[in-house]
Amino acid sequence: MTKLEREPGLRERKQARTKLALLDAFVEALGERSLEAIAVRDLCATVPVSEATFFNYFRGKADLVTYFVQLWSLDHAWHARRTLEREGALAAIGEIFARTAETVREHPRVLAEVIAAQARLEGPPEVHEIGLAERRERFAELDGIEELPARGLDSLLPWLLDEAIARGELRPDAPRDLLFLTLAAVFFGTPVALLRGSPAAVGDAWRAQLALLLGPHRVTSAAAPTATKATATKATTTKAAATKATATNAESRTKPRKTSRSDKARKTPEKKR
């Protein structure tokens, strides 16, 4: 999204607030019942708006799921970029998983329903541009979010993996595409496996899986053996030279010095006349 010069007008801000209010009502309802059990008329009564107004913005409940994912992606992209600048690309990937783990703890049913709804899609979802008014209303405290593209995981994770390789955090031969597919599988699969039994364990499971998956491909100090060997050799040579010099000095102090003729002359007392 390019920076917009024109500030959103009153009508645009009102539309943004209505869309976000419908989304919030939808997310709250998802926390209690399944997507199929949620009626559009109930969402409209909660806001309140007419059903005609609802369908001005969304074709149906599936569009609300897509809208939720878009806003989620925008929020996570902003935090991932900030973490990238401060700590690096791998830390940014970890930030995405950590922030999602917080959502799982607070609203365990929501993520499960979103994953299930996306799995039922027969084709790519219809994606709408997140306007400036919506960004301002929902993320007023996030500086610079007006210009940030709303990246989904299918765009955000490959970009961060490329950054990790370019910055020397991952080895150049790291299997980027395979890592992305595995990260996506971990992201969606782990909550499905744990949500019913222990949603609070999702964060710990993700941290362990990220370490297991990315650890073997990290660049470590062993990746530069030539420099390390040269430094060690130089240090050893210097130490040996210093040891030899110390031994020589010690030997010169302890070894008896030969007496010269001038020394004998000084030490021999003058004969009495």
For 82-88, which contacts have Cβ atoms below 8 Å and span 24 or more sequence positions? 84/160, 84/163, 88/164, 88/167, 88/169
Could you read off the pLDDT of 58-71 as tens digits, one per residue? 999 989 999 999 99
Domains of the chain: 61-219 (1.10.357)
Tokens for 272? Answer: 């009495």
- pTM value is 0.74
User: Residue 163 contacts by C-beta under 8 Å, 6 or more apart in sequence?
Assistant: 84, 89, 92
What are 162-218's pLDDT values in tens digits? 999 999 999 999 999 999 999 999 999 998 888 777 888 999 999 999 999 999 999
Show Cβ contacts of residue 132 under 8 Å, excluding neighbours closer than 6 positions: 4, 7, 8, 12, 146
The 10s digit of each residue's pLDDT in 243-268 is 554 455 545 444 444 444 444 444 44
